[in-house]
Amino acid sequence: MSTPTYEDVQNAIQQWIVEATSITADRVRWSGQGGAQPTSAGGAWISLSITAEGVQGKPWADIEDGAVAGTVQHVARSQNAGTLSIEVYNAASRGNGSALAILRRLKPSLWLPTVSEILDGVVGMGAFADARNIPGLVNATYFEPRGIMSCRFFTATELRSTASGAATTSHIEHVEIAGETE
């Protein structure tokens, strides 16, 4: 299995949010993706953004046999962690359609088989911050109920380079011990 791309990670996260909230995919958008903001007539919509990401621990490298005889693959790997911000806009002011009710569906949804299929092998979800209600004044007569929550996520990065010739002998292939050791 190949390592998921950054686009794979974003797509899996977006599909998870759609599955968990039942908000249609056209109303679950990545911040900065362009286009017009969803209309208020369609109900709640969600904006996603990755606010931080970095390598956890020290990356490592392996050498594997290449697909072609006489070659090896140098493989650099790392585990990454990031923070996902999930913002709900234009939600109902109370009840199951409220911003907080929508956000609180996300964590338990991770145990649904349909969500596991979406996320497995692509991205792992970690700790969730408390969902917060952030009412916003749209105009002098209307408050837009909003909510925000963040959660940690984990991914893997794998970079490969094929080498042949002298570059294939950069690792120890055979060790022979002569004499006695104490």
8-state DSSP, 114: H
Distance CA 58, CA 120 (A): 24
Residue 181 pLDDT:
52
Per-residue tens of pLDDT for the chain, all 182 residues = 467 888 999 999 999 999 999 999 999 999 877 777 777 778 899 999 999 888 888 888 888 877 777 788 888 888 889 999 999 998 888 899 999 999 999 999 999 999 999 999 899 999 999 999 887 666 655 666 689 999 999 998 888 787 776 555 555 455 555 556 55
Residue 138 pLDDT:
63
Residue 137 pLDDT:
64
Q: In degrees rounded to 5, what are phi and psi of residue 113?
A: -55, -35
Distance CA 171, CA 101 (A): 55
The answer to whether 56 touches 124, Cβ cutoff 8 Å, is: no
Q: Which stretches of the chain are assigned E, i.e. beta strand?
A: 28-30, 45-65, 71-89, 124-128, 132-133, 136-139, 142-144, 147-164
Can you read off the two tokens belonging to residue 109?
């949804």
Q: Give this prediction's pTM.
A: 0.78
The answer to whether 82 touches 52, Cβ cutoff 8 Å, is: yes
Scored b (16 or more CB within 10 A) or e, 105-116 reads ebeebeeeeebe
Domain boundaries, the chain: 6-50+81-149
